[in-house]
Amino acid sequence: MEILFGTDGIRGPANSGSMTPACILKLATAAAHHGMQKHFDSHGDHRFTIVIGKDTRLSGYMVESALVSGFVSMGADVILLGPLPTPGVAMLTRSLRAQMGVMISASHNPFQDNGIKFFGPDGCKISRADEQVIEQLTTTSIPLANCLKIGKAKRLDDAAGRYIEFAKATFPRGQRLDGLKIVVDCAHGATYKVAPKVLWELGADIIPVGVDPNGENINLNCGATSPALLQQTVLSHQADLGIALDGDGDRLLMVDENGHILDGDQLLGLIATLWLKRGLLQGNGIVGTVMSNLGLERYLHSQGLTLHRSSVGDRFVLERMQTEDCNVGGEQSGHIILRDYVTTGDGLIAALQILSLLKNSNQRISEIAHVFQPVPQILKNIKTSYPVNLLSHPIQQAINHAEQQLHPHGRLLVRPSGTEPLLRIMAQGDDKPLLDKVIGELVAACSQ
């Protein structure tokens, strides 16, 4: 059986492999069949309902059409949301009382790729167990609906407006952003309409960039994965800060007035500190991942807080947050989950919380946001055309030797990417020359 799902849904080159219309059609019938068995009372009067959102990739039309065909052929009704950030799809899945939500996006990947993420009726990404059932079902023959029970598809014209009002409702009532000049980079992606409108309606003076999608420029030299444009624009406009989102709007990166980058770890540290002071922080800590910087862990410890680490992926972050009863969690990459409001990473809502804290402080963002000194961290990606056997003796020997060299003042992580054909090697610690040496040895061992 082919493994379709990675760290964050299904992802790959559009119109190739698992992302062809034929494969997507099988996937849709399998997902609808499983969803109906798990979440649907066939004896009721209501219809099984699925909402679909997408980002701005050219291939989104093809993927959307294939999904709709599969879903309605199973007797499900479909509500099309159009371009909308991933957290907006999660929110509207709950709000519309749908049994399933689908986001068509390859997130931070280039436009040539596309992907599919599934949400359950609670707005949370489906479990790995559900993904495995759907994978199995794609290889079986599934009976389609009777011709009298074929589903319908319709478009929700005010989907963006609903998300805008939801996002604004997370901002303190009565507070405004007047007096702040903000650059917002939407990566020519799913937030290109909603993010500037939210910030403008709350009173900010905004300079929008990355808001002219053409189907092929999503994430291209812009957005959270390419912050140089944001840094340059903040400095040239003498803005107070900059906000960068990625293609589907579930991750956030910020830039202070001096052009210095604030990654997810710094933003998590800032939110944790100020929520602790305001009595809002739950679980006496936050959730990060195995990639989170040691500097963040040490800083939180100095504040009497714990950094709980999960596997990479905001689904795993949320699961750990639920286990530890934490309401703040996220990744160094900028996926930030504020469980009081959302069930998945939401770059815009995380940015609004930081902007609220900034307004309350009456300080520049550079004065409050660099809450800890990160330790040196090196991430090396090795392109692979075949699965690397991390359990092979030479590689295990190299990994063990690297861990011994870093202990006790460093950390090592070697893992295959769940979204791209890459092997990721990360090392962090106080001794930068040692990190370079360790990474070099591991790259050589894994490349043989």
Whether residues 61 and 196 fall in one domain: no
- pLDDT of 44 reads 57
- pLDDT of 388 reads 65
Any idea what the CATH number is for the domain that residue 418 is in? Answer: 3.30.310.50
d(CA 237, CA 257): 10
Whether residues 344 and 210 fall in one domain: yes
- pLDDT of 43 reads 47
Q: With cut-offs at 50, 70 and 90, classify the pLDDT of residue 144.
A: very high
Is 302 catalytic? The answer is no
Output the six-digit token pair for 284. 């006496």
Whether residues 52 and 153 fall in one domain: yes
- pLDDT of 41 reads 62
* Mean pLDDT computed over 256-264: 97
Whether residues 151 and 289 fall in one domain: no
Q: With cut-offs at 50, 70 and 90, classify the pLDDT of residue 292.
A: very high
- pLDDT of 340 reads 95
Q: Which of 433, 264, 436 is nearest to 425 (CA)?
A: 436
Question: 10 Å Cβ neighbour count for 268?
Answer: 28
Domain edge (last residue) among 157, 186, 205? 157
Cβ–Cβ < 8 Å for 7, 415: no
Output the six-digit token pair for 15. 């119109």
Q: Which of 94, 142, 159, 126 is nearest to 10 (CA)?
A: 126
Using the predicted structure, report yes or no on whether residue 116 has a pLDDT greater than 80.
Answer: yes
Output the six-digit token pair for 258. 């001096």
Q: Which of 219, 161, 153 is nearest to 186 (CA)?
A: 219
Whether residues 144 and 94 fall in one domain: yes
Any idea what the CATH number is for the domain that residue 115 is in? Answer: 3.40.120.10
Whether residues 258 and 142 fall in one domain: no
Cβ–Cβ < 8 Å for 50, 98: yes
Domain edge (last residue) among 316, 343, 368? 368
What are 67-96's pLDDT values in tens digits? 999 999 999 999 999 999 999 999 999 999
* Residue tagged 């790995």 (tokens): 128
What are the phi and psi torsion angles at 143 (to 5°)?
-70, 135
Using the predicted structure, report yes or no on whether residue 437 has a pLDDT greater than 60.
Answer: yes
Q: Which of 443, 262, 320, 336 is nearest to 87 (CA)?
A: 336
Using the predicted structure, report yes or no on whether residue 104 has a pLDDT greater than 90.
Answer: yes
Domain edge (last residue) among 314, 337, 368? 368
Cβ–Cβ < 8 Å for 230, 183: yes
Q: With cut-offs at 50, 70 and 90, classify the pLDDT of residue 57.
A: very high
Whether residues 66 and 41 fall in one domain: yes
Whether residues 151 and 228 fall in one domain: no
The residue ranking higher by pLDDT, 7 or 112, is 112
Q: At what angle do helices 128-137 and 21-39 cross, to 10 degrees?
A: 120
Name residues whose C-beta falls within 8 Å of residue 148's C-beta, 6 or more positions apart in sequence.
Answer: none
- What are the C-alpha distances in Å from 276 to residues 169, 200, 279, 303, 352? 21, 29, 5, 9, 17
- pLDDT of 42 reads 54
- pLDDT of 314 reads 87
- pLDDT of 243 reads 98
* Mean pLDDT computed over 268-295: 95
Cβ–Cβ < 8 Å for 303, 270: no
What are the phi and psi torsion angles at 177 (to 5°)?
-105, 20
- Residue 252 — left, alpha, or beta (φ > 0 → left; ψ -120 to 50 → alpha)? beta
Whether residues 108 and 137 fall in one domain: yes
Whether residues 219 and 350 fall in one domain: yes
Please, what's the b/e burial string for 92-128 (b: 16 or more CB within 10 A of its CB; e: otherwise)? bbbebebbbbbbbbbbbbebebbbbbbbbbebbbbee
What are 341-366's pLDDT values in tens digits? 999 999 999 999 999 999 998 899 99
The residue ranking higher by pLDDT, 328 or 379, is 328
- Chain centre distance of CA 336: 8
Using the predicted structure, report yes or no on whether residue 417 has a pLDDT greater than 90.
Answer: no
d(CA 171, CA 186): 20
For the whole prediction, is pTM greater than 0.75? yes
What are 216-243's pLDDT values in tens digits? 999 999 999 999 999 999 999 999 999 9
Q: Which of 251, 230, 240 is nearest to 184 (CA)?
A: 230
* Domain boundaries, position 254: 162-368
Half-sphere exposure of 145 (CA within 13 A, CB side): 23
* Mean pLDDT computed over 50-78: 98
- pLDDT of 237 reads 98
The dihedral formed by the CA atoms of 16, 21, 26 and 31, expressed in degrees to the nearest 10: 100
Percent of the chain with pLDDT over 70: 96
Q: Which of 362, 328, 322 is nearest to 345 (CA)?
A: 328
The mean of the pLDDT values for the chain is 93
Cβ–Cβ < 8 Å for 289, 317: yes
Using the predicted structure, report yes or no on whether residue 2 has a pLDDT greater than 80.
Answer: no
Q: Number of structural domains, the chain? A: 3
The helix (run of H) or strand (run of E) holding residue 83 is strand 77-83
What are 174-218's pLDDT values in tens digits? 999 999 999 999 999 999 999 999 999 999 999 999 999 999 999
Using the predicted structure, report yes or no on whether residue 39 has a pLDDT greater than 80.
Answer: no
Whether residues 361 and 391 fall in one domain: no
Q: Which one from 18, 59, 105, 107 is the annotated catalytic residue?
A: 107
- pLDDT of 45 reads 62
Cβ–Cβ < 8 Å for 393, 445: no
Residues in the chain: 448
Whether residues 187 and 306 fall in one domain: yes
Percent of the chain with pLDDT over 90: 80
